[in-house]
Amino acid sequence: MITGCDELINNFKNLISSDTLSHAYLFFGGDKKTHEEKFIFSLSLANFLEKGIFEEPKQILNETLIISPDEKGIIGIDSIRALKYFLWQKPINSVKRMTIVKEAENLTSEAQNAALKIVEEPPEFGLIIFIARTAEDLFPTLASRMQKIYFSSKTRVNTGNKTDKHGYNIGINPRDDEHESILTDAEIDKIFEDLIWNLKKEPIKNSRKLKETLSRLTLMKQFNTNKKLQLRALDKY
């Protein structure tokens, strides 16, 4: 069961009902635990498309393909070829045929190039969810062709064995004007807070992006600048 993320669930339901789903999404952000929760949310979305229930499926989904790293810890081009073949089949029991690429940061260069061709010319009834640690884990050309949804390390999905209810901190890729209105000022503040916290884990490695993030945050606080534009400006770093 998913709790504490009604806004994101409703956003996806509205996109589905209005037939305006994107063909590809990138779920990114958070820590290792959040990585699994992004996967649970993806499964729940697939379950809603096929069964009409937005929760972790209890049965096998016939219209969903899950791709994970192999025994060597990589996702190669053969997996992307299987993804392509799967998505080009017309769904029978679902609105979309959906593939979930877990740990997408393990896609090989060859696999990412193959995936790029798919998202550039997506199948009519296909939906791809890429799950990665950061948006920078994928080639910029590939990531730029997806709608991005940010998950904070503090986001939580209740899988049935927990009683805590924590709110999702959700953001859509600021460059995607169609969905930009989803972000509230409070959510943008939280994205900046989590981003700075993660960047400070490796301050030397992340010095350039950390400096720019802090600069943007200062502009927001001192001069009341447009927060969405400041967040959008960080996308190139």
CATH number of the CATH domain containing 36: 3.40.50.300
CA 56 vs CA 24, 40, 158: distances in Å: 20, 6, 10
Amino acid at site 72: K
| pLDDT at res. 214 | 81
CB 196 within 8 A of CB 214: yes
Domain for residue 1, yes or no?
A: no
| Distance (Å, whole) CA 237 – CA 235 | 6
Question: Are 121 and 227 part of one and the same domain?
Answer: no
Q: Any alpha helices (H) in the chain, and if so which ranges? A: 6-17, 32-51, 77-87, 109-120, 140-143, 185-199, 207-223, 227-233
| pLDDT at res. 175 | 37
Q: What does pTM read for this prediction?
A: 0.66
Residue range(s) defining the domain that contains residue 190: 184-237
Q: How many domains does the chain have?
A: 2
114 pLDDT above the threshold of 90: yes
Question: Are 137 and 207 part of one and the same domain?
Answer: no
Tens-digit pLDDT profile for residues 208-234: 888 878 877 777 666 566 666 666 666
Residue that is last in its domain, among 183, 204, 223: 183
Question: Are 38 and 127 part of one and the same domain?
Answer: yes
Domain for residue 139, yes or no?
A: yes
Question: Are 44 and 161 part of one and the same domain?
Answer: yes
| Distance (Å, whole) CA 67 – CA 97 | 14
Question: Are 137 and 56 part of one and the same domain?
Answer: yes
Question: Are 215 and 112 part of one and the same domain?
Answer: no
167 pLDDT above the threshold of 70: no
CA 10 vs CA 80, 170, 186: distances in Å: 30, 13, 19
| pLDDT at res. 228 | 66
Question: Are 224 and 124 part of one and the same domain?
Answer: no
| Minimum mean pLDDT range among 28-32, 105-109, 152-156, 175-179 | 175-179
